[in-house]
Structures are given as structure tokens and as C-alpha cells.
Chain A
Amino acid sequence: MTTTTASVPAGKNRPYSGTGDRLRLWWDAQARPTQWLIGVPFIVFIAFLPVLRIPVLTTVGTDFGGVMAQFGMIALVAIGLNVVVGSAGLLDLGYVGFYAIGAYTVALLTSPDSPWNLTDQWLSQRWAWLFCVPIAIAITAISGLILGSPTLRLRGDYLAIVTLGFGEIVRLLADNLTTITQGGRGLQGVAFPYFGGTDKNPDGVFSAGNSDAPWNSGLWWFWLSIVLIVIVLLVVGNLERSRVGRAWIAIREDEDAAEIMGVPTFKFKLWAFMIGAAIGGLSGALYAGQVQFVVPTNFNVINSMFFLCAVVLGGQGNKLGVILGAFIIVYLPNFFQGRTSLFGIPIDGNDIAGYKYLFFGIALIVLMIFRPQGLFPARQKLLAYSRGLYQAARRAALGGDRATSAAAVLADGPADASSDVPGAGTKDGGDR
């Protein structure tokens, strides 16, 4: 029998491997204030990227602010889809359906073309978008519930095809219910948040008419999505480090065993579906507001694959990784778009950008063979209030002889006392 009091074997050289791991270890070992001190400026830096317009980094063919805004939305989608696919292991191939429902909810309630338009009655155009976002979230969550409650009893493979069908049905409905959705003509004039109107931009900074780069509408939508991403990350992070997140992972790993351990698996699968759907709906609402125009072709099933691509590329289950995955799939094609030379080498950027699905396809295949865990793999932490334990482990891992003693751990506060701040568990700090 192993002795339980054994501490770290001394002299074991660097038990953690790889730069990424060491970086993560280093990061996790920092005190939370230090993490904030590094994290917040970093986010601010990212947020100001479209303003700084760093030469090579800035896109040529399309406005950089717009690209980053698109990235923000896809990042949200990826976080939501990651809850369903990455955490709970439910393969949802119709995720674009929720995105579409979110977008159409906002559009139907605020577009003058829609029979359900509220803005010409009692809802001010200025507040309409903000008013509709929660409705969009609620309706997508409910549609997740409606889709999930019959289908989540099916086995995984069936779920994939049924969700695929769902995504297609949503698009077809948008296409065919012409008296409501205008079909292929789409809905114009969707509301957007009103903020900071000036003489030059009477409709405010979020209006698509605001094109004075770099402070154009794209930048403002990017900032808005950063705020939403942070909020969603906190919510999802809190869930991950609770019985909910643990149930999801357990279901992904071995659903039967989870059920036999007393986990109400169906209930938590349904939650995963609803939460994922709600986040997708939020992103859709954002999209509708930004482009002020929705049309069914934007919600093709191929987009579902694209979203899945972001999740897989970034690393299923790692919510920071999937954000990077979203960045890659949005940014790379735009990076090449309109570029005629790179570091002095002439290239045909438009051609390269046009091949994006080819490259993503190849990337998926190669990745699955050589790095199935994605580019940025990381395991979620599933326990809140266990900072003491993990720090003990980390110090032991980093230190060899340095910081393995009880004193070192206790100096950082005992296990229970360390995180009494709501919403600020171990991983929150580590998230950024």
C-alpha cells in the first residue's frame, strides 16, 4: 500500500514537460493580484489592437476592426459550442441553428420589414437591441430545451444527425416562411445599440454607418463582444468548477458510469444544451445588430462545421483555447484577403483566402492524427475552493526542492479560505 504522507520525491528533475506547461504552471502559481496585474493589461492590449494597427498584423482586404468584431462573435459561439461538444461531449452539428434563432429573434422584433416589428410602436429604436438581447437568449435557450428533451435520450451518433437536421430546418424555415422572414430577401434595418451619437455619426458609434477608422463600428462591436466574452467566461468557469461541470466531463468520459455514480445525466446534458444554445443565441443577437441585416444564407450548415473547427482547433474543453481557435479561423482567411505580398514575398492573398475550407479541412485531418487534443490543450479545473491543493501540487512540480513543504502551502492560505470572493475561483484569474 502506498504511504499517503509521501511528499514529493526530491531531486526529480522537472516533472512537467513543454514550454506551454511550464508557462501554465508559472501562471497558476502566481498570486491572484499578480494574475490580474498581468491579465487586465493584456486584454486591454488585445482590445486596442484594431486601434494600434500594427503593420503586418493588420488585415489589408477587410477592415481590421470588422475582422476583430467578427472574431469576437465567433469566439462567443466557440465558447458556447465548447460547453456542448468540449465539456459534455455531445456532438452538435446544428449549432448554427441557435445562432440563427438568436439573430432572427432580434431581427424579427426590430426590423421594419418584419410583421412583428416592435420599434414602430412602443419600443424606441435606440433601446430596441438591448431590449431584445435577453429575449433572444431566452428563446434560444428554450429552443435548446425543445430540441434537447427528445433527442438527448438518443445515443451520440444519432444526436449528431438530428442536430444537423435541426440546423438545416431552422435555415429552411427562415427561407420559406416568407410572410414573416421575407425569405431570401432577408430582414433589413435591424436595431443596434445607440451610444455616443455625434453630428457626424447621428446613429452612434455602433451604427454600421460609423466608418471613421480606426474608431469605427467594428471596433466598438469588438469591445462589446470582449465584455460579453468576459462575462460568459465567468459564468461558464463557475459552472465548470461545480457539480455541473464535473457532471459534463463525467458524461463525456463514461456516461453509464456517471449515471451509476448518481449523476442525473439527462438533466445535465439538457443544461449543457440550453447553456450552449443561449450563448449561441447571444452571439447571433450580436451579429444581427452588427450587420443590421439577416438573411438565411448566412446560416448554412457549413457554418456549423466552421464553428466546430474553431472548437477542435483550439482544443476541446479548453475555453481559452477555443477563443484562440476562433481567432485562427476568422483571422487567417482575412489576413490573406487582399494581400499581395508578405514580408516582401509576392503572394496572391485572395486565392489563399478562397482556399480556406480546403486548408481547414486538411488542418482538421492532420490535427486529429497528430494532435487530437487541439493546438492549445488544457484540462479544465473542476474544483473550486481547492486552490491550496493545486498550489501544493504545482509548487511540488515546479520546485523539486523549493516549495513543497506544508509551510509554503499554508503561507498561501489554507485550502478553504483562499477564494471567498464570488466569481473569482482558481481558474478565473488563470483565464486571462
Chain B
Amino acid sequence: MSEPNSPDSLRAGAESNEQFLSPDGSISTSEDSREQDLPDGEVIEVDVDLASVNPDLADAGTVAEIVAADREIRAEVGAPLLEMKSVTMQFGGLTALDDVSFTINRGEILGLIGPNGAGKTTAFNAMTGVYRPSSGSVEFDGRALGSIKRNEITRRGIARTFQNIRLFSDMTALENVVVGTDARHRTSVPGAILRLPRHRREEKDAIDRGMALLEFVGIGSRATHQARNLPYGDQRRLEIARALATEPKLLCLDEPAAGFNPAEKEQLQDLIRKIRDDGFTVLLIEHDMRLVMGVTDRIVVLEFGRKIAEGLPQEIAQNPAVIAAYLGVPDDATA
């Protein structure tokens, strides 16, 4: 499936806008610009008031309470949750990560920054078990992350969002989030066919939690919208909600502000803080220095696969090596 923001789908969207009169000839009227792209003569989305369905959701405090992860974390607040221990990654002759060590402490927002090609994505993939380090190890909540399946990583408590949004575009916002709760379900096929009590309980929990999550990230009214019809900013929020639905110990946000305007970035900062305040640990990979400086507790800087700095945002902002890496000094300009 093409991502919503890929050139292909943009073009497809543009073309179907030309035939905005849906195939069956009815007029799809809407002054609201976010309702685009109705190739199938499908329904135009309608907002709903979630509090009317579940009155609990009217109160932000209750919402946050439902959203908060309900699982045991071994690491104490402030103690290391994830540790990169001298991780080196080599692909053929290329060293993508060179002896990188840092920790993410429980309850903090850690920023991972660096110029293009610095190894952020590789580090990210090493952390989420996509790659196995050539040497060194990654320890998460007291256990080493060996080569386990990707869905197992999520079940262990690391969730992520995608730089290029990858929602299940045919599903509604709520369904997307409920997919994220999958790891919390125990029922399988027989239970679902027979609608055993456990299945019913799990489903209801998942829906309640899903609605709370949507409310939490600020798109509750769009619960029944198809993901593909959501505006860009809401899609990013939905990704975050879906990742939170897995009840992660660590939430990794991969350039969540890409394509945002300053106002939206501001709102995103608020959301990230809110997530942290609700008891989650956040790893933020981001280009936008202003956003990173504004929201993170600590920052790790990578360049050419090496860690060149680590510290509080103010320290990083004044660190000559970081400034050099970002502005480029003549020596490095060739690289």
C-alpha cells in the first residue's frame, strides 16, 4: 500500500479530485477541505462526540488514567530502561555505528539527533531489534534484545511510529488504534468464533482504551473516520495513538514533526510532554532542533556513526562539536 504522502498517492489523490462528482452521480459537497479523495463514492466522514458514547471520556484526567500503560516495568523511574552498550554495526565494509553507548532512563524524553546519515536510523533499528549489532549489546528493561521477532519486540514494550506515515488506511481511526492493542489480547480464533466471555471483555477493553487514546492525542471526534481521509496532522497523531495502544515501556517517535508548520510543532511538543507525564518514556528522533531543544530532557548526538555528545539541551546547544556537525566546518565539508 502506498503511504499517504508518497508521490504516487498524491498524484492519485489529485486525479480523483478531478472527478469529484462521485461515480453514482451524487454530489459530494463539503466546504471542509480535509474531506478529499472520494474515489469510491464512499461516505464523507462525520465527526462524533465520544463523550456521548462513553461519558467517562469527557474528563481529561480519566482519559489519561485509561491511557496510562498497565504493565510492570522493572526499571525504577530515572533508572536506565534501555541501554546501548558499545554497539557497533557493520554492513560489509561500512561501519554505520561505531562503539555507541547511551542509555534511556525511565520517564524521560530522550532526543536522538544528528545530521543525515549519522546513524540515527541504524541506532533505532538496533534498538528495535531489526538489526543485530555486529558487536556490543542492547539491553531493554533488564533483558538483552537478541534476535527476536519484530512483533515480540513490541510485546516486550518498545513501540514506534514511522517517519513516512504507515497507517492502515482502509480502517477507521479507532480500528487502527485497536490493532495496536493486539498484544494485550489473549483470545485467538476459537475464542472469537464462540465469543467467549474473555473475548468480549478484551474487545470492550480495547475499544474503551482506543477511544480514550484518540481523545488523549486530540482526535477523538474523528474516531469513525477512515485513516486515509484524515488530515495529515491527525494521521501523525493517530500513529502516536496506535503506538501507545501497545502499552509500550518505551515509545520511539521517528521524526514526528516532519511536514508540520510551527503551530503544529508547538502542539506536538505539548502532546509529547503529556505522554511523558502520563508515565511513558519517549525516544525522539528528530531533525528539527527547535523542537528537540524545547521538549527533551536529554539529548544524544550522533555523527558518522559515533556518539559525539550527550547531555542536557542547553549543554548540547553550546557544544562546539555539535555546532560544527550541524553547521559544517571546512574539514568535514567534504564528507
The residues of A with any CB-CB pair to B shorter than 8 Å are 1-9, 12-21, 25, 235, 238-239, 241-244, 246-247, 249-250, 252-254, 256-265, 271, 275, 370-371, 373, 377, 379, 382-386, 388-390, 392-393, 396-397, 404-406, 409-410, 414-416, 420, 422-423
Q: What would 21 A/B residue contacts be, using CB atoms closer than 8 Å?
A: A2-B218, A4-B221, A5-B49, A6-B49, A15-B43, A15-B44, A17-B42, A238-B195, A242-B192, A243-B185, A254-B168, A258-B179, A271-B188, A384-B195, A386-B174, A392-B53, A393-B48, A406-B52, A414-B53, A416-B208, A422-B194
Q: Is the CB of A262 within 8 A of B183?
A: yes
CB distance from A57 to the nearest CB of B (A): 25
Q: Which residues of B contact A235 (CB under 8 A)?
A: 193
- Chain B 167-195 interface mask (CB, 8 Å, partner A; 1/0): 11111101100111011010111011111
Q: Is the CB of A9 within 8 A of B47?
A: yes
Contact partner of A415 (CB less than 8 A), chosen from B54, B160, B183, is: B54
Q: Is the CB of A8 within 8 A of B47?
A: yes
CB distance from B88 to the nearest CB of A (A): 24
Q: Is the CB of B223 within 8 A of A389?
A: yes
- Chain B 88-128 interface mask (CB, 8 Å, partner A; 1/0): 00000000000000000000000000000000000000001
Q: Is the CB of A409 within 8 A of B40?
A: no
Docked pose: A20 CA to B245 CA in angstroms: 34
Contact partner of A382 (CB less than 8 A), chosen from B52, B159, B178, B214, is: B178
Query: Does B224 count as interface, using CB distance less than 8 angstroms?
Result: yes
CB distance from B301 to the nearest CB of A (A): 26
Q: Which residues of A contact B202 (CB under 8 A)?
A: 243
Q: A385-B200, A389-B53, A405-B52 are in contact. Are A260 and B224 (CB under 8 A)?
A: no
Q: A243-B187, A261-B179 are in contact. Are A2 and B234 (CB under 8 A)?
A: yes
Q: Is the CB of B46 within 8 A of A15?
A: yes
Docked pose: A365 CA to B172 CA in angstroms: 29
Docked pose: A249 CA to B208 CA in angstroms: 21
The tally of CB-CB contacts under 8 A between chains A and B is 222
Q: Is the CB of B207 within 8 A of A18?
A: no
Docked pose: A348 CA to B191 CA in angstroms: 53
Q: Which residues of B contact A16 (CB under 8 A)?
A: 43-44
Query: Does B50 count as interface, using CB distance less than 8 angstroms?
Result: yes
CB distance from B160 to the nearest CB of A (A): 6
Contact partner of B187 (CB less than 8 A), chosen from A242, A250, A422, is: A242
Contact partner of A17 (CB less than 8 A), chosen from B38, B51, B52, is: B38
Q: Which residues of B contact A275 (CB under 8 A)?
A: 189
Q: Which residue of A lies closest to B243 (CB)?
A: A261
Which has the most chain B C-beta neighbours within 10 Å: A8, A254, A405, A423?
A: A254
Which has the most chain B C-beta neighbours within 10 Å: A243, A275, A410, A414?
A: A243
Given contacts A246-B171, A253-B171, A393-B48, 8 further A-B contacts (CB under 8 A): A4-B215, A4-B221, A19-B24, A244-B188, A247-B179, A261-B182, A389-B224, A406-B52
Q: Which residues of B contact A17 (CB under 8 A)?
A: 22, 24, 26-28, 38, 41-44
Q: Which residues of A contact B267 (CB under 8 A)?
A: 1
Interface segment, one of B78-86, B148-156, B284-292, B307-315: B148-156
Q: Which residues of A contact B192 (CB under 8 A)?
A: 238-239, 242-244
Q: Which residues of B contact A410 (CB under 8 A)?
A: 52
Q: A2-B234, A4-B219, A261-B242 are in contact. Are A388 and B49 (CB under 8 A)?
A: no
